[in-house]
Chains A and B, each alone.
Chain A
C-alpha cells in the first residue's frame, strides 16, 4: 500500500495567498520529495529534503520535515494561477530504496 498520505486532498485559494500541504508517512526514510503534476502532464520534481534536514527552501517553496512525527509540509508562498496542479509527496524508505507516492493534493489557485 502507498504510505505517503497528503492532506488536504484538495485546496482552493486566491492568487497571492499561501498554500500549505501536509504529508505523513509510516516507515523510516532516507529522504522525502515533493512533486508537481499539471493536468495531463508528467511529474516535475520540486524539492528533496533528506532525513537529517528539518527545513529547505527553493524560491517560493518551503518544505519542513519532522521525522519524529513522520510528517512533512510544503508551503507555497504568494501563490499564482500557474501553481494550479496536483502536488505529491514521495518517500524513499531506508530498506529497499523504493520511492512511494501519496495520493496527492489538488491545488486550485483562483486569479
Chain B
C-alpha cells in the first residue's frame, strides 16, 4: 500500500491566522487531493493538487482561502488562510495510485478559536 505522511496532526489556531498543512507521499501515488471533513459530516473535496501548476478547485472553494502547492510528484501543501471558527475541521490529504486505490494521510485536526 502507498505511504502518505501528513502534518501537523492537530493544531489550535487563533482567528485571522493561517496554517499550512504538509503532505508527503511515496512514488505509487499519481494524483493528490485535499479534502475537508467537518464535524459529523462526510468528506468534501477541496481541490486536486496539480504538479507544477495551480490546483483545480471545487465549487465553493477558492485559491485565496485555500492556496495549494505541489512542487513535485510526492509533496503538497494546503494553507488555510485567514481562519475563522467555521474552518475548524479535519483536513485530509489523499493520494490516488495508478491502480485506482485511494490512500489517506492521517488527517490534520484544526481548531480555530
Given A88-B42, A101-B42, A101-B43: A45 touches B103 (CB 8 Å cut-off): yes
Q: Check: B100 CB closer than 8 A to any chain A CB.
A: yes
Interface size on B, residues (CB 8 A): 20
Which of A42, A45, A96 meets B101, CB within 8 Å? A45
Task: Kindly state the separation between the CA atoms of A97 and B31 in the bound complex, as whole angstroms.
Answer: 9
Q: Which of B94, B100, B103 has the most CB of A within 10 A?
A: B100
Q: Check: A11 CB closer than 8 A to any chain B CB.
A: no
Least CB distance from B11 to A in Å reads 17
Least CB distance from A28 to B in Å reads 14
Q: Check: A75 CB closer than 8 A to any chain B CB.
A: no
Q: Is the interface of A mostly helix, strand, loop or mixed?
A: strand
Which of B94, B101, B104 meets A48, CB within 8 Å? B101
Least CB distance from A40 to B in Å reads 9
Task: Kindly state the separation between the CA atoms of A103 and B42 in the bound complex, as whole angstroms.
Answer: 5
Are B104 and A43 closer than 8 Å at their CB atoms?
yes
Render B68-91 as a binary contact track against A, CB cut-off 8 A, 1 for contact.
000000000000000000000000
Are A31 and B104 closer than 8 Å at their CB atoms?
no
Least CB distance from A29 to B in Å reads 10
Q: Check: A30 CB closer than 8 A to any chain B CB.
A: yes
Q: Check: A50 CB closer than 8 A to any chain B CB.
A: yes
Task: Kindly state the separation between the CA atoms of A2 and B37 in the bound complex, as whole angstroms.
Answer: 13
Residues of B within 8 A of A77 (CB): none
Are A90 and B102 closer than 8 Å at their CB atoms?
yes
Chain A contacts to B: CB under 8 angstroms: 2, 30-31, 33, 42-43, 45, 48, 50, 88, 90, 92, 96-104
Chain B contacts to A: CB under 8 angstroms: 31, 33, 35, 41-45, 48, 56, 92, 94, 96, 100-104, 106-107
